[in-house]
C-alpha cells in the first residue's frame, strides 16, 4: 500500500493525548512510552516494569531539563483477557511491550468519536491532534503499520491478536490487506513503530475535546 493509497482512503489521522502535552510533543515528537521513559531517564528496573505491565492510571514523569510529561494508562486492557486472546505464544507482558514501542492514530472521525465516547474517558479533557496522512506516511512509510482491531482494548469480546496484528503498510495493497483479514475488516488503527520525531510539518490542527457518551 503506497502512502497515496492510504491517504486517499484516510486523508487525516487523529491522535489523542493529555492537553498539557503539546509543547513537549512539538519539541521532542510523538514518542511511544518506551522512548519517552528513556528520554526522561526513568531507571531501567522501573522502566521495564512499566513496559511489561498494565497501567491502571496515567503516569506523570518529571525531568530537570525536559519538564513534565505523561504516559497514558492502558486501563482498557485486561491481562486475564489477553491470556485468552493472544496468539503466537505471546504473553500479556509481550503484548504490553509491543504496544509501548508504538504511537497510535485513529484513521477516521468515526473511530475517534467511538474512543471519545468510551466509558473510561468520559468527562476527561483530551487534546486531539489532526495530522496529514500523506505527509506523515511518506516520512515514516517503512515504520507505518495497520491494525484491524483496537489493539489497546480487551473490553467486551476481545479480538484475537498476535505478531501479525500490526501489518507493515508497505507489504500489501489495501485490498490484499483486507483479504488477509478475511475480507470483512476495516482499518481501525494506524501505528508508527518508534514514534514521530517531527510532528509540526504534519500537524494540520489541534483542539480540545471532552469524552462524552455517543449521541450526547
Give the long-range contacts of residues 196-199, CB within 8 A, separation 24 or more.
Answer: 196/29, 196/30, 196/103, 196/136, 196/139, 196/140, 197/28, 197/29, 198/29, 198/139, 199/25, 199/26, 199/29, 199/30, 199/129, 199/131
Give the span between the Cα atoms of 132 and 3, in whole angstroms: 11
Each residue of 140-195: pLDDT tens digit?
Answer: 999 999 999 999 999 888 999 999 999 999 998 888 887 776 666 688 999 999 99
Q: What is the mean pLDDT of the chain?
A: 90
Tell me what the mean pLDDT of segment 119-129 comes to.
75
Number of Cβ within a 10 Å radius of residue 194: 16
* 212 vs 60: which has the higher pLDDT: 60
- What pLDDT score was predicted for residue 145? 97
pLDDT band at residue 121 under the 50/70/90 scheme: low
- What pLDDT score was predicted for residue 108? 93
- What pLDDT score was predicted for residue 165? 93
- What pLDDT score was predicted for residue 120? 59
Compute CA distances 208 → 21, 22, 86, 191, 199, whole Å: 12, 11, 35, 22, 18
Largest CA distance in the chain: 51
Residue 53 has pLDDT above 60, yes or no: yes
pTM above 0.85, yes or no: yes
- What pLDDT score was predicted for residue 206? 96
pLDDT band at residue 113 under the 50/70/90 scheme: confident
Give the span between the Cα atoms of 200 and 204, in whole angstroms: 8
* 122 vs 78: which has the higher pLDDT: 78
Residue 106 has pLDDT above 90, yes or no: yes
Residue 213 has pLDDT above 60, yes or no: no
- What pLDDT score was predicted for residue 133? 98
Amino acid at each position: 500500500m503506497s502512502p497515496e493509497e492510504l491517504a486517499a482512503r484516510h486523508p487525516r489521522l487523529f491522535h489523542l493525548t493529555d492537553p498539557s502535552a503539546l509543547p513537549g510533543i512539538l519539541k521532542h515528537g510523538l514518542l511511544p512510552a518506551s522512548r519517552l521513559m528513556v528520554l526522561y531517564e526513568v531507571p531501567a528496573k522501573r522502566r521495564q516494569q512499566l513496559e511489561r505491565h498494565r497501567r491502571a492510571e496515567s503516569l506523570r514523569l518529571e525531568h530537570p531539563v525536559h519538564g513534565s510529561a505523561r504516559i497514558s494508562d492502558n486501563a482498557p486492557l485486561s491481562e486475564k483477557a489477553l491470556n485468552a486472546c493472544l496468539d503466537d505464544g505471546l504473553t500479556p507482558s509481550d503484548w504490553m511491550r509491543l504496544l509501548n514501542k508504538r504511537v497510535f492514530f485513529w484513521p477516521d472521525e468515526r473511530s475517534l468519536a467511538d474512543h471519545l465516547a468510551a466509558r473510561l474517558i468520559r468527562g476527561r479533557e483530551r487534546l486531539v491532534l489532526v495530522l496529514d496522512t500523506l505527509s506523515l506516511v511518506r516520512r515514516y512509510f517503512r515504520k507505518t503499520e495497520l491494525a484491524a482491531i483496537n489493539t489497546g482494548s480487551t473490553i467486551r469480546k476481545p479480538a484475537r491478536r498476535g505478531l501479525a496484528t500490526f501489518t507493515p503498510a508497505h507489504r500489501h495493497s489495501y485490498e490484499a490487506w483486507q483479504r488477509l483479514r478475511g475480507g470483512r475488516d476495516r482499518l481501525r488503527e494506524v501505528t508508527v513503530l518508534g514514534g514521530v520525531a517531527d510532528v509540526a510539518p504534519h500537524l494540520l490542527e489541534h483542539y480540545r475535546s471532552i469524552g462524552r457518551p455517543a449521541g450526547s
